Structure 1
Amino acid sequence: MAIVGAVAAATNRETTGLPPLQETIEADALNALFDGQSSSVAVSFQYADTDVSVTGDGSIEVRVDGHSRESE
């Protein structure tokens, strides 16, 4: 999933070293929320000691220690 990859890149960790995303947020529900929705939809949550924001246009912002690292 793109979120796990973005968090791994932002934290310089392997994706296999991160906890399963399902332990933090219902990934299927997240996918359904963004499937065909407008770009004004946004969700923010904490995952693997980061703050993650995902928007309807597909951008993922990962904040590590207050510093933003964006990926699309």
Structure 2
Amino acid sequence: MAELTSILTCPQCGKRTTEQMPTDSCVFFYECPGCHTVLRPLAGDCCVFCSYGTAPCPPVQAGAGCCAT
């Protein structure tokens, strides 16, 4: 069973926000509620959860690969 909650940490201001991850889509853009920076996946990652979260997205957790492919 995949972990569906992840804590996103903004690389600009350090704000940590607990978010629910969708199981049917990727999150490519996320606006930090602290500084309003729009986060995008880092090179090689498929979504903001894989780049900035405490848990990768559900497809990656399941071993199915990136949710963008």
Task: Give your verdict on TM over 0.5.
Answer: no
**Structure with bigger RCO (C-alpha 8 Å, 6+ apart):** 2
Instruction: Compare the two structures and name the one with the higher helix fraction.
Output: 1
- Normalised by the length of structure 1, the TM-score is 0.29
Instruction: Compare the two structures and name the one with the higher strand fraction.
Output: 1
